[in-house]
């Protein structure tokens, strides 16, 4: 069962363009150096809302097991790009808004979907 790291933060309203640029740098790093992300099963970023106080985001990183998270964090901290990326993103945050939590699903429900049937053309 997948274990998630949820990182939630608020970006200053005047820093949204920089945040988008920063995200592209992270994605490029993930593509160019996949060994740094070998424990990562998935990653999604969600935008919550946008108002005068900023825009709230959640980055949801999926891992197969808890030990993968620990190994990923340890390995990622050792690279020079990580320090530069961290310094850049911290400048964009509303102070005190960053939170990081580990989420483990308790129960997962899977819905059965009905197969789509072709609609018949009305007869004339």
Q: How many domains does the structure of the chain reveal?
A: 1
- For residue 14, give the CATH number of its domain: 3.30.70.100
- Asked whether the beta carbons of 60 and 4 are under 8 A apart, the reply is yes
Are 73 and 33 in contact, with CB atoms under 8 Å apart?
no
| Residues 23-58 pLDDT 10s | 998 899 889 888 888 889 999 999 886 666 668 999
Q: Are strands 40-51 and 3-11 parallel, antiparallel or unpaired?
A: unpaired
Q: Tell me the whole-structure pTM to 2 decimals.
A: 0.75
CA angle 39, 73, 47 (to 5 degrees): 80
For residue 6, pLDDT over 90 is answered with yes
For 1-124, list the strands marked E by DSSP. Answer: 3-11, 40-51, 54-63, 99-103
Q: Is residue 55 a contact partner of residue 11, using CB atoms and an 8 Å limit?
A: yes
Residue 31 lies in a domain: yes
Q: Look at residue 112 and tell me if it is in a domain.
A: no
Residue-wise pLDDT for 10-21, tens only, equals 998 889 899 999
Domain presence at residue 57: yes
Has residue 54 been placed in a domain?
yes
């Amino acid at each position: 069962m997948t274990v998630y790291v949820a990182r939630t933060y608020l970006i200053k309203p005047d820093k949204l363009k920089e945040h988008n640029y920063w995200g592209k740098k992270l994605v490029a790093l993930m593509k160019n150096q996949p060994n740094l992300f070998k424990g990562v099963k998935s990653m999604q970023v969600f935008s919550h809302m946008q108002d005068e106080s900023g825009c709230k985001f959640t980055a949801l990183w999926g891992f197969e097991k808890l030990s993968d998270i620990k190994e990923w964090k340890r390995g990622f901290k050792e690279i020079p790009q990580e320090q530069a990326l961290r310094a850049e993103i911290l400048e964009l945050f509303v102070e005190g808004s960053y939170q990081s939590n580990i989420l483990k699903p308790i129960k997962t429900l899977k819905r059965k979907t009905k197969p789509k049937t072709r609609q018949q053309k009305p007869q004339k």
